[in-house]
Amino acid sequence: MGGTRPYLITLAATTPSPFGPQRHGRPFETSDKEETPDSEGVPSTRIDLDGLADRIVPFPVESARYGNLRAAKDGVLWLRHPLHGVLGTTRATPDEADPSTELERYDLAQQRLEHLAADADHFEVSGDGKRVLLWTDGKLKVVPSDRRASADEDSDSNITVDLGRIRQTVDPAAEWRQMYDETGRLMRDNFWRPDLGGVDWDGVLDRYRPVLDRLATHDDLVDLLWEVHGELGTSHAYVIPRGGHGHGPRQGLLGADISRHEDGGWRIDRILPSETSDPGARSPLAAPGVAVRPGDAILAVAGHPVDPVTGPGPLLIGTAGRTVELTVSPAAGGDPRHVVVVPLADEEPLRYHAWVADRRAHVHESSGGRLGYLHVPDMQAPGWAQIHRDLRVEVAREGLIVDVRENRGGHTSQLVVEILARRIVGWDMPRGRSAFSYPRHAPRGPVVAVANEFSGSDGDIVNAAIKALGIGPVVGTRTWGGVIGIDSRYRLVDGTLVTQPKYAMWLEGPGWAMENHGVDPDVEVVQRPQDWARGADPQLDEAVRLALEALEAAPAKTPPALPPL
């Protein structure tokens, strides 16, 4: 992410900037009086609106990510967040924690920056501006606002609040009633149509309210709120309780297909290849020094023999992210080998990249190398990164297949469409290197999109935009049909997330009809269960056929020859 700076505005036109030159060279000074005596009354504040925008000045600090700007005694406090990408790939290792956020103070009197605390999650300043209530490393502390707290936690400048003494009594039934009413108010005030699509919202809430008296668990409440939201017949109306996966030991996975063979041994059928550009897609069995091959048998895990019935899975429980020794019998014969691996907690990145590589190889082979292939898994940061892993190479071919099947949505469809809509008007031709299209990374020939019923949200929208702009045909099945977006802004008192469909989408062509319908393909091709079973992809095959047919009618653009002497 890019950086910003905190800024200051002088309200009165005659107030000088604390960072600028001062009359007679005197520095900015604060009043010696800490508060206004009662006899002087309330201090007046003068605001000169004329030229106000010109009096915005930046603090003299380097660009970074700043937040939670607060005024304190003789200075200003803020949180300085580390600069790092949303994918987390800037960390030294995938398991390493993100860099910590720091609490900083700019001393207006001394005109200097001070570091008050590391690993600061949140803070609030006391009413007199002298102290800070700081949440750091899972603890609540009271520290001074004008200097770094003492390292001695028993000192008066570093007080830890004992949260263990807090006792709270909750009446679940009363809390659920309040959450029910709050959910109704949030939807009423944020739904994309003020008239809630003609639904009698108060009537809906009254009709379901008697069910509150029969709720026994929080899960019952979540189910009820889903039903209430469902009365609006609109996508993205979610109810998601706080929580998630536990943080205990996870099942270890080896990034491979393993099966029991006729001889009773558990052998490796396939090792998923690593994708070196994705830290989450490393293959344990393909790591340097392991040298395991398909056909090898796993005899033992951490010295424990593999059960011929259950296989190595039970022995890998709790090993994710930990070092484990495998005893392997080579398929080619010879003595068993002992190798050390670090099993994964999740194979999805590995299997996803392997799936993409298989689809790309199929497109290259079936088109004789003339067509490129891109898959866009979502319209978020991971999908944007995935496009750019292969964009430069794949758009250099004569045509392009853009696969948005299983697209999970997001907010970057405009960026994706902008790339696909580029049209070549020139060439950059350096000596000794391949020519570059102008604009860069523009398709050189026909573009064909592939979609299915799991292309949703922004995955719906990208297909509609491809059709509206005439970029190319869409092949497959009708998309999911949910295009009214959300911002996930509101949580209920216990942390349950409730969303309100707020950002409606209209596009030339379908108009408002995408919601609850989706985008119809130009060429419908259904992927049947039989196709999945035999590893066939008729949707992709049809896209290749259409692209090659378009190339016959309109050849791809190519760089010109050098001009004659």
* Residue 545 to residue 542: CA distance in whole angstroms: 5
In this structure, are residues 228 and 184 in contact, taking their beta carbons and an 8 Å threshold? yes
The residue among 294, 290, 293, 295 whose CA lies nearest residue 326 is 290
Catalytic residue among 145, 274, 367, 457: 457
Q: Which pair of tokens denotes residue 187?
A: 């939807």
Question: Looking at residue 73, what DSSP letter applies?
Answer: T
* Residue 339 to residue 346: CA distance in whole angstroms: 21
* Residue 147 to residue 550: CA distance in whole angstroms: 70
Catalytic residue at 262? no
Catalytic residue at 122? no
Give the H/E segment covering residue 553.
Answer: helix 538-553
* Residue 121 to residue 137: CA distance in whole angstroms: 8
Question: Looking at residue 285, what DSSP letter applies?
Answer: G
The residue among 326, 330, 254 whose CA lies nearest residue 285 is 254
CB atoms within 10 A of CB 108: 21
CB atoms within 10 A of CB 230: 11
Tell me if residue 446 falls in helix, strand or coil.
Answer: coil
Beta bridge partners of 297: 267, 329
Catalytic residue at 304? no
Residue-by-residue DSSP string for 345-359 = S--HHHHHHHHHHHH
Q: Which pair of tokens denotes residue 117?
A: 């605390």
Catalytic residue among 236, 353, 362, 375: 236
Catalytic residue among 394, 398, 515, 542: 515
* Residue 220 to residue 225: CA distance in whole angstroms: 9
Tell me if residue 431 falls in helix, strand or coil.
Answer: coil
The residue among 346, 340, 259 whose CA lies nearest residue 292 is 340
Please compute Rg for the chain using Cα positions.
31
Long-range CB contacts (within 8 A, 24+) of 108-113:
108/18, 108/28, 108/30, 108/74, 108/75, 108/76, 109/27, 109/28, 109/29, 109/30, 109/74, 109/75, 111/18, 111/19, 111/27, 111/28, 111/60, 113/61
Question: CA distances (Å), 108 to each of 71, 87, 264, 496, in order?
Answer: 11, 37, 76, 41
Residues labelled as active-site residues: 236, 457, 515
